[in-house]
């Protein structure tokens, strides 16, 4: 039985012996779930928050904690202390080291995983790029936050559905077809791809400023797409193919995949039912010819469902999509990883679902995030000054290769490592701050091997691998030979700090899922990497006395496993040599 389970069992016993009459006290299992590793050693190795007991015992939490600590008499815990509503347990250092390493090494790269999500489904709507636009840096955050949240939920046992809700519907496609037929050519689109589509789109707007009747032409072509006109459909599909082929290269580099590419157009035949339902429920009102759901009492502008010409909108499709997802996947949660500019859009959407009487409206969550600027420059699509993600990724890989050529010219498979490091650097900087913060990307910062960066964490992982290789310890196997380990070798401050970080990792993963915040994992792996490097400089690993060396090798293995897992959870690869 591991130490936390043991403490939970003892605590449960302590509870029933202190209050034999009390009803509704938590079981040992429930207590195990409530036990946490405090961020700070001052607060003990484990802490039990007693707030949950207040109701059953009709007592204030600090009193409960105090009574429990007084009643406690189990010598294997060095000391217990009541602090406010917490009962804090202090193990001795050697025990804590053994407990933690046993726990990590028993699970290896699965340490921190859980089955808490089993039987539950989470839909994640992320990346959701737009057709006929190139994949810009502006879509990096949604792609990586979404991808990471998907992995985190998978790791916690949820069933996940990754959805790329493509922006492939709307009058802009009519305009583009008009522009293509008027000023474009097949050859040019074939040759220049999206660049040409974007040129045509800009051209349309320039011309439409001079001649507003073009707007009607655009609408007419979109109507043709809607009505299934063969020519319109085939041009539209062709634009879509080209865009998706381009995007596939980017997704490949990032290692991102989707379970579904059902975009806006997928819902063209699924909107009518929803509109009927809105009508039956008397939610639609006519405002200036348009059909809207009035949201005045909710202090929001009306949600437009049908324009005066009968055309559907972004909202209409999102309504249909939400209903479809609930019907098909029966999700427990549906996450929309979309920039904060669409806050209002989602608040309206969820409110309309609520008004429709969908009890699951509360399970829809807008996971919003801040803006990304690039080397100090904001960018915009309208002016055409877009920084393309593929260019950034290619540059990052090239720069990583330059650094590797300089630092480790003899490394085998340099190109492959440069890919892992370059891409890792970009992803790390995207996921290193709380998602709601705006971020500025800079190559120099991202690729600094000494800063808080992807390459720094990857390098630490490679360093662990190298220590393990020298020790002759297997890299992959979950178990190091533990019998000859002398845990006294891990009683120093650096090792203890590191052990604490490792033992907190499962809590961090759960918290990251709870708050939809991959950056918590980025933070955790960075702290662990820093902790290991500090430990490594202060202590000999291999040429220490055998029992101590074995303990330090085991710690190195645990660090390596957790860093690798953490990096994986944020979508970054961990090369074994750099």
Binding site for ligand ARG (CB under 6 A): 125, 128, 130, 165, 167, 318, 321, 336, 338
Select from 369, 515, 339 the least CA-distant residue to 433.
369
Nearer CB in complex with ligand ARG: 332/452 = 332
Largest Cα separation within the chain, whole Å, is: 87
Q: Check if the beta carbon of residue 270 is closer than 8 Å to that of residue 176.
A: no
Nearer CB in complex with ligand ARG: 311/411 = 311
Q: Distance (Å, rounded) from C-alpha 377 to C-alpha 393?
A: 17
Question: Least distance in Å: CB of 165 to ligand ARG?
Answer: 4
Nearer CB in complex with ligand ARG: 368/565 = 368
Q: Distance (Å, rounded) from C-alpha 117 to C-alpha 510?
A: 11
Q: Check if the beta carbon of residue 113 is closer than 8 Å to that of residue 151.
A: no
| Angle ∠(269,270,275) on CA atoms, nearest 5 | 110
Nearer CB in complex with ligand ARG: 128/148 = 128
Question: Least distance in Å: CB of 379 to ligand ARG?
Answer: 14
Kindly write down the DSSP assignment for every residue of 430-466, as one continuous string.
HTSS-TTS-EEE-HHHHT-TTSSSHHHHHHHHHHHHH
Question: Least distance in Å: CB of 371 to ligand ARG?
Answer: 13
Question: Least distance in Å: CB of 258 to ligand ARG?
Answer: 13
Question: Least distance in Å: CB of 120 to ligand ARG?
Answer: 21
Angle between helices 140-155 and 493-515 (to 10 degrees): 110
Nearer CB in complex with ligand ARG: 66/325 = 325
Kindly write down the DSSP assignment for every residue of 457-472, as one continuous string.
HHHHHHHHHHHHHHHT
Nearer CB in complex with ligand ARG: 315/552 = 315
Nearer CB in complex with ligand ARG: 321/361 = 321
Q: Distance (Å, rounded) from C-alpha 499 to C-alpha 490?
A: 9
- Neighbour-count burial of 565, counting CB atoms closer than 10 A to its CB (0-12 exposed, 13-18 middle, 19+ buried): buried
As beta bridge partners, residue 90 has 79
Two structure tokens written together for 565: 């897992």
Terminal Cα-to-Cα distance of the chain (whole angstroms): 39
Q: Distance (Å, rounded) from C-alpha 84 to C-alpha 569?
A: 35
Question: Least distance in Å: CB of 518 to ligand ARG?
Answer: 18
Nearer CB in complex with ligand ARG: 130/522 = 130
Nearer CB in complex with ligand ARG: 167/174 = 167
Question: Least distance in Å: CB of 214 to ligand ARG?
Answer: 24
Two structure tokens written together for 198: 């974007």
Question: Least distance in Å: CB of 194 to ligand ARG?
Answer: 15
Nearer CB in complex with ligand ARG: 145/495 = 145
Q: Check if the beta carbon of residue 148 is closer than 8 Å to that of residue 571.
A: yes
Q: Using alpha carbons, list the distances in angstroms from residue 232 to 179, 215, 244.
A: 12, 16, 18
Question: Least distance in Å: CB of 168 to ligand ARG?
Answer: 9
Select the residue whose beta carbon is closest to ligand ARG and give its number.
167
Q: Using alpha carbons, list the distances in angstroms from residue 267 to 167, 244, 274, 323, 574.
A: 11, 19, 11, 10, 40
Question: Least distance in Å: CB of 342 to ligand ARG?
Answer: 7
For residue 184, report the phi and psi dihedrals to the nearest 5 degrees.
-110, 180
Q: Check if the beta carbon of residue 427 is closer than 8 Å to that of residue 454.
A: yes
């Amino acid at each position: 039985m591991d130490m936390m389970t043991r403490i939970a069992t003892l605590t449960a016993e302590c509870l029933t012996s202190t209050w034999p009459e009390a009803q509704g006290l938590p079981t040992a299992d429930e207590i195990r779930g409530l036990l946490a590793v405090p961020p700070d050693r001052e607060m003990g190795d484990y802490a039990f928050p007693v707030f949950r007991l207040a109701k059953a015992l009709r007592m204030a939490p600090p009193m409960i904690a105090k009574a429990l600590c007084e009643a406690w008499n189990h010598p294997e815990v060095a000391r217990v202390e009541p602090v406010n509503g917490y009962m804090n347990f202090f193990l001795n250092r050697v025990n804590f080291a053994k407990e933690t390493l046993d726990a990590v090494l028993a699970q290896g790269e699965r340490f921190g995983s859980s089955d808490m999500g089993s039987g539950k489904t989470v839909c994640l709507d992320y990346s959701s790029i737009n057709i006929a636009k190139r994949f810009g840096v502006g879509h990096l955050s949604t792609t990586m936050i979404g991808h990471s949240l998907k992995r985190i939920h998978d790791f916690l046992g949820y069933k996940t559905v990754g959805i790329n809700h493509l922006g492939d519907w709307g009058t802009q496609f009519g305009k583009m077809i008009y522009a293509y037929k008027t000023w474009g050519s097949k050859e040019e689109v074939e040759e220049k791809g999206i660049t040409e589509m974007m040129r045509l789109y800009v051209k349309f707007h320039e011309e439409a400023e001079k001649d507003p009747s073009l707007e009607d032409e655009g609408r007419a072509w979109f109507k043709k797409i809607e009505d299934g006109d063969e020519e319109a459909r085939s041009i539209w599909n062709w634009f879509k193919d080209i865009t998706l082929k381009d995007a596939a290269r980017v997704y490949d580099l990032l290692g991102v995949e989707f379970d579904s590419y059902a975009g806006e157009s997928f819902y063209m035949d699924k909107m009518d039912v929803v509109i009927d339902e809105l009508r039956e429920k008397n939610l639609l009102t006519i405002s200036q010819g348009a059909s809207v759901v009035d949201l005045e009492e909710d202090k929001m502008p009306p949600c437009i469902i049908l324009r005066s010409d009968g055309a559907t909108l972004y909202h209409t499709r999102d309504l249909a999509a939400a209903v479809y997802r609930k019907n098909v996947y029966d999700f427990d949660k549906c996450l929309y990883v979309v920039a904060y500019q669409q806050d209002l859009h989602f608040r309206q959407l969820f409110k309309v679902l609520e008004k429709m009487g969908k009890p699951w409206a509360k399970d829809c969550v807008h996971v919003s995030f801040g803006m990304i600027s690039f080397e100090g420059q904001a960018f915009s699509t309208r002016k055409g000054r877009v920084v393309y993600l593929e260019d950034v990724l290619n540059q990052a890989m090239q720069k990583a290769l330059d650094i590797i050529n300089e630092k480790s010219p003899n490394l085998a498979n340099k190109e492959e490592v440069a890919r892992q490091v370059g891409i890792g650097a970009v992803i790390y900087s995207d996921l290193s701050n709380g998602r709601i913060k705006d971020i500025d990307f800079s190559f120099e910062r991202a690729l600094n091997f000494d800063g808080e960066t992807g390459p720094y964490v990857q390098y630490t992982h490679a360093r662990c691998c190298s220590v393990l290789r020298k020790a002759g310890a297997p890299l992959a196997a979950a178990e190091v030979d533990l019998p000859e380990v002398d845990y006294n070798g891990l009683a120093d401050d650096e090792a203890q700090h590191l052990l604490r970080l490792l033992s907190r990792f499962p809590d961090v993963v759960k918290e990251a899922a709870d708050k939809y915040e991959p950056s918590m994992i980025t933070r955790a792996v960075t702290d662990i990497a820093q902790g290991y490097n500090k430990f490594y400089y202060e202590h000999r690993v291999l040429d220490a006395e055998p029992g101590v060396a074995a303990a330090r090798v085991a710690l190195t293995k645990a660090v390596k496993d957790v860093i690798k897992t953490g990096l994986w959870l944020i979508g970054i690869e961990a090369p074994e040599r750099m």
